[in-house]
Amino acid sequence: MHEAHQEALATLEACIVACNTCFDACLNESHVTHMTDCIRLDRDCADICSLLSQAIVRNSPNIAVLATACKEICLACAEECSKHDHDHCQKCAAACEACAKACDSLV
């Protein structure tokens, strides 16, 4: 694995954790109704980050293609999460923004 990839991998892993943590916490919020977009995007984001992180480690020929998609989904998740004051949403937004930047470096 290239050194630049190693760094991106850590950022992706952190984003997967933030998105799944936010997914779980959103489902536990009293006002779940306001969190449904967040729940959807958390799942999408965790899944594409997971796919990309595995592709990076095995030197897949499709890293750039997956990183392009992952960046877009991270940005969408960051935008939605940043609207909510919950700590888990704010943390998730930050993790997704960092991940979007890491994806940019892979394109």
Give me the residues that bind a copy of itself (CB under 8 A), please. 1, 9, 13, 16-17, 20-21, 23-24, 27-28, 30, 32-33, 36-37, 39-41, 43-44, 46-48, 50-51, 53-55, 57-62, 65-66, 68-69, 72-73, 76
Nearer to a copy of itself (CB atom), residue 46 or residue 93: 46
Q: How far apart are CA 35 and CA 80, in angstroms?
A: 9
Nearer to a copy of itself (CB atom), residue 62 or residue 105: 62
Q: For residue 5, count other CB atoms closer than 10 A to its CB.
A: 18
Nearest distance in Å: CB 85, a copy of itself: 19
Mark out the alpha helices in the chain (DSSP H runs).
Answer: 3-28, 36-57, 63-81, 87-104
Q: How far apart are CA 12 and CA 23, in angstroms?
A: 16
